[in-house]
Amino acid sequence: MFFCYRMQETILLFCLSGLFLSHHALPPIKSYFYLDQKLSWTDAQQHCRERNGDLATVDNVADLQHLQESRTGFNYDDDLMWIGLYDDRTCWKWSLGDQDYKLGQNYGTWVGNNPDFYDNEENCTVMYTTGGWMPGSMGRATRNIGQLPLMGNLKQRSTFKIKISSEADMTDPEVGARFWNRMQETILLFCLSGLFLGHHALPPIKSYYYVDQKLNWTDAQQHCREQNGDLATADNVADLQHLQESRTGFNYDDDFMWIGLYDDRTRWKWSLGDQDYKVGQNYGTWYGSDPDFRRNEENCTTMFNTGKGLTGEWVDTSCSEQRGAVCFDDEEPHYIALPKPMTWYEAMQSCRSNYTDLASVRNISESYKVSALIPDQGWIGLHRYPWSLWSDGSSATFLNWGPGEPNSSRGPIAPRCVKMSVNSGHFFDEECGLLYNFACQGNLKQRSTFKIKISSEADMTDPEVGRQILEQLHAKLAELGVTGANISWVLKDGQVFHKDQPRKT
């Protein structure tokens, strides 16, 4: 009895401590492989993950050398390849394990002033065969850098030792076989049954369903949420295909349907502290009808001195334009002017490297101080990430825009939404108030069924015995901090337990 309990505790420890490929296990052994196939970053990531790996992580010079060596012997017509570093609109991360990456702190071989975040589009990373890194666009076909070879690193297996105290002869193969059978049962019960679903388990399975009812985007969103789901999210090509299949069998008079991607044009952020800013609610001295989102490029903010008053006025501007800037230093709180023209992202990096960040202007007092340092016009810290969120709150990294999209140039500040062409899978931006059919999604619960063998003198046909066993399982899970698991018996012929039939000899 003691041996069986120790085995359960030990296996549970192995499951929870990471010996089954969690972040507490030994560091992954990086085994890079080069794929001579041109894919978008998102499809490259999916390809690697389907092979139990991920896009390549590069933590040091040795990794970089191994990456370069992995391409030896290939004939290739392109000097660039994808690696796993990407910007999820809040910070840089590696695809493998979503590890944070800090510019200026972690290892990197960026070329020149990169990453330069050209027009908020370059949120993935490509590597030259020479080892230099450059930002690359994930979803815009017009940049011609979206189809690149890729590299990945394989996951490892973990091997561990266990110490057994037993009077049995452990050199006896039969004893070892019985021991392994008990071990397998315990692993199946506690590790593979889904009781420990978390970030080490398989991701939730998306289940799409098409709604043949024309609603505006907001009402469609509400409809999906009332069904315990949300408007559809598409993170890769496979999701697009499943979305398209969800409409199979319907007779429809329109090729388009709403999905969950939207752009809240009132939602901006200050670079300093990543503080939210809401147009029309927070302090702002916007000029005329700005922000007007001209050419869908004006996602950063310039403050200019009109010479007519003490407070400057704001205009939304393309982040790639060249301006001076105003920084803020919180050690001895004061503002510093940077007269040299640079892009918004270069200005942000310069301020963060030398001071604290680009200046925030949250009230009239701060406006006076910043405006006094601007002879003509200069960058402040206000910016936005367009088309960065899905309805379910997840970050948008896969944007399958149709030709010329998004095209809502100089539109009103009101939010914009996305309709998807069922035939092509392309995204098109649209006024949220128009009526279309739509697709919802829900995450299917993963359910596992497993068998256990019990040797007991108790009456296993007694429902009370079964109830007590379930209580013990729930108590053990609670003791280990596992919540949300629902365990129940499966009835067969009206019974939970069935006697083993003696084997014929």
Residue range 359-389, pLDDT digits in tens: 999 999 999 899 989 888 999 999 998 888 8
- Spatial distance between the Cα atoms of 18 and 158, rounded to a whole number of angstroms: 9
Q: Which residue has the higher pLDDT, 187 or 205?
A: 205
Q: Could you tell me the pLDDT band of residue 113, with boundaries at 50, 70 and 90?
A: low
Helices (H) and strands (E) in the chain, counts: 9, 23
- Spatial distance between the Cα atoms of 310 and 106, rounded to a whole number of angstroms: 42
Start-to-end C-alpha separation, the chain? 29
Same domain, yes or no: 145 and 245? no
User: Could you tell me whether strands 323-329 and 377-383 are parallel, antiparallel, or unpaired per DSSP bridges?
Assistant: parallel
Share of the chain above pLDDT 90, in %: 24
Same domain, yes or no: 59 and 119? yes
Same domain, yes or no: 285 and 426? no
Alpha-carbon Rg for the chain in angstroms: 29
- Coil vs helix vs strand at 335: strand
Residue 19 placed within a domain: no
Q: Which residue has the higher pLDDT, 179 or 274?
A: 274
Q: What is the tens place of the pLDDT at every residue in 128-142? A: 766 778 787 764 332
Whole-angstrom CA distances from 293 to 27, 246, 270, 279, 312 are 46, 34, 18, 13, 20
- Spatial distance between the Cα atoms of 251 and 418, rounded to a whole number of angstroms: 22
Strands, DSSP E only, in 88-231? 92-94, 100-101, 124-128, 133-136, 148-154, 205-215, 230-231
344, pLDDT greater than 60: yes
Same domain, yes or no: 209 and 347? no
Helix (H) or strand (E) holding 81: strand 80-87
Same domain, yes or no: 261 and 395? yes
Q: What is the pLDDT of residue 258?
A: 97
Same domain, yes or no: 259 and 396? yes
Q: What is the pLDDT of residue 445?
A: 46
Same domain, yes or no: 38 and 143? yes
Distance of CA 50 to the CA centre of its chain: 17
Q: Which domain CATH number covers 147?
A: 3.10.100.10
Q: What is the tens place of the pLDDT at every residue in 12-64? A: 333 333 333 333 333 444 677 777 778 888 888 888 877 767 888 888 777 77
Whole-angstrom CA distances from 76 to 37, 143, 437 are 10, 20, 45
CA atoms within 13 A on the CB side of 305: 17
Lowest-confidence segment of 74-88, 116-130, 180-194, 340-354 by average pLDDT: 180-194
Same domain, yes or no: 90 and 138? yes
Instruction: Show which of 383, 404, 432 is a domain's final residue.
Output: 383
3, pLDDT greater than 90: no
pTM comes to 0.54
Q: What is the mean pLDDT of the chain?
A: 75
Residue 72 structural domain: 32-154
Q: Could you tell me the pLDDT band of residue 497, with boundaries at 50, 70 and 90?
A: low
Q: What is the pLDDT of residue 16?
A: 33
Q: Is 4 exposed, middle or buried (0-12, 13-18, 19+ CB in 10 A)?
A: exposed
- Spatial distance between the Cα atoms of 337 and 58, rounded to a whole number of angstroms: 36
Contact present, 44 and 153 (Cβ < 8 Å): no
Instruction: Show which of 383, 403, 421 is a domain's final residue.
Output: 383
**Count of domains in the chain?**
4
Contact present, 348 and 357 (Cβ < 8 Å): yes
Instruction: Show which of 139, 154, 169 is a domain's final residue.
Output: 154
Residues recorded for the chain:
505
Contact present, 492 and 466 (Cβ < 8 Å): no
- Spatial distance between the Cα atoms of 223 and 231, rounded to a whole number of angstroms: 9
Residue 379 placed within a domain: yes
Same domain, yes or no: 109 and 69? yes
Same domain, yes or no: 74 and 128? yes
Contact present, 221 and 230 (Cβ < 8 Å): yes
Same domain, yes or no: 228 and 288? no
Q: Which residues contact 98 (CB under 8 A, 6 or more apart)?
A: none
453, pLDDT greater than 90: no
Residue 78 placed within a domain: yes
Residue 174 phi, psi dihedral angles, 5° rounding: -65, -40
Q: Which residues contact 123 (CB under 8 A, 6 or more apart)?
A: 86, 87, 88, 89, 117, 135, 137, 138, 397
398, pLDDT greater than 70: yes
Same domain, yes or no: 374 and 271? yes
